[in-house]
Amino acid sequence: MKPATQVLIERYQKHLYAIAFNICRNQQDAEDVVQDTFIQYHTYKKEFDTEEHIRAWLIRVAINKAKNITRSFWHRNKCNLEEYMETLTFETPESETLFDTVMKLPEKYRIVLHLFYYEDYTTQEISDILHLSVSNVKTRLSRGRALLKETLKEEWNDDE
């Protein structure tokens, strides 16, 4: 007996999410656990005896995956941006303002700016890493710089 994965998702998704959330205490991690559980079911080759056996198997897999997440190095050592900012030291107040402003940019600009200025990658290398055209990388650099300039100009004008 092996019902279709979609049938089981409709039947057990909310239940497995509740179990995973109770262990992970994080929405994204709980969603990942549920998704990984159903992926494992879908790729599982053996048959089940009964509906109860399937339900018990799904619950056990979800619990194990949730516990693995809470034990992982990443989960134990993660912190939010504000906590991370407190651990950083900057040479000047302007450096701190610049870093804070860059972190608030949209991701597509932030990544390109970081790779170009902090990691010293060329536009061609960034293009290869991000699977973008060189012209797209240059456009994102230009737009990111413009956003930074505009934002920093506003902040510095406010200080006067």
How many whole angstroms separate alpha carbon 153 and alpha carbon 135? 27
Q: What are phi and psi of 81, to 5 degrees?
A: -60, -40
| pLDDT tens digits for range 8-35 | 999 999 999 999 999 888 889 999 999 9
Check if CATH label 1.10.8 holds for domain 5-77: no
pLDDT at 1: 87
pLDDT at 32: 95
Check if CATH label 1.10.10.10 holds for domain 81-159: yes
Collapse the DSSP code of 37 into the 3-class scheme (helix H, G, I; strand E, B; otherwise coil) and give the result: helix
Q: For helices 134-159 and 123-130, give the axis angle rounded to 10 degrees.
A: 110
Q: For helices 51-71 and 27-43, give the axis angle rounded to 10 degrees.
A: 130
Q: How far apart are the first and last CA of the chain?
A: 73
Average pLDDT in the 43-56 region? 91
pLDDT at 155: 66
| pLDDT tens digits for range 52-103 | 999 999 999 999 999 999 888 776 666 665 666 666 677 887 777 787 788 7
Q: What are phi and psi of 29, to 5 degrees?
A: -65, -40
Q: How is the chain split into domains, by residue range?
A: 5-77, 81-159
Mean pLDDT of the chain: 86
